[in-house]
Every structure is written in structure tokens, then in C-alpha cells.
Amino acid sequence: MYKSAVVFLIAIVTAQGFTLGADADQAVEAAEKNWAAAVVAMDFSAMEKIYSKDLIYAHSTGVVETKTEYLDKLKTGAQKYDRIDLQKSMVKLFGDSAVAHSVVRMSGNSSGEPFDSKLIMIHVWVKQDGHWRLVAHQTTKLEDL
């Protein structure tokens, strides 16, 4: 009977672990979509909630900014996104952290110059205060379109 109870408890914990992992995967995937929508819509209220206060935002140009620097760039119009299309994504969970790897197409305007780029994007998400927060963004240009 003891062995049966242990096997039963392991089955419950394992099943719940897979459910929690799937739920967390979906939550991070939703956070990715919410991030893209907020940036294109210039929804600063949403971006304030999405970005961690310790954000490291590295552009494909090599420019690295803090949360404040990046948001200021958007607020002044020095950076504007017309579209962010997540074309192919995968999420890997590591406890209260997650890495999202995507192929993405972004278009808009940066410092008065239009851009339309296909990129590889890595986002690092950390669960803070019960919410997934973006702590790091890195893009690498794939090719000119």
C-alpha cells in the first residue's frame, strides 16, 4: 500500500509539473505577443509593466540601452516600430526564468532612417512579483530584405 501511495503521489506531482510548465510556456508566449503589441502601439503604460527596471536592451546595431534610455528613445520618436512580426518562436523555461528565441521581422524608423529587418531575437524573462518581466532583449540581423 505504501508503494502504491508513493507511485500515486509521484504521478500527481509529475502531471501537475507538466501542466505548470505548459501554463508557464503559454504565459511567456503571451508575454512575447503583448510586448510586440505594446511596442508597436506605443503603449508606454504596458511597456512599463513588461520591462524590468533592470532591463538590458541590445539592438542589432550594437547599441545597448537601459529601460529609461530605451523608453525615452520611443517617447521622443527617435525609434518607432510600424510592425513586429514573430515568425518562429520557442520558449525554454528555467524555474522562474525563461528564454524566448524568435525569428522576427521588424520595420519602422530609427533616428530618421527607415528600417525593415529580419532578425533573430532573444528575450530573457524573469518572473517578478508574480508577473513575467522582460530583463534582456538582443537582436541579430539576419539579412537585408
pTM of the model: 0.82
Q: 70-127 pLDDT, tens per residue?
A: 999 999 999 999 999 999 999 999 999 999 999 999 999 999 999 999 999 999 999 9
- Predicted pLDDT at 10: 36
Q: 35-45 pLDDT, tens per residue?
A: 999 999 999 99
Ramachandran sector of residue 3 (left: φ over 0; alpha: ψ -120 to 50; beta: rest): alpha
Could you give the domains of the chain?
2-144 (3.10.450.50)
Amino acid at 101: H
Q: Which residue has the higher pLDDT, 79 or 6?
A: 79
Cβ 89 vs Cβ 30: under 8 Å:
no
25 band by pLDDT with thresholds 50, 70 and 90: confident
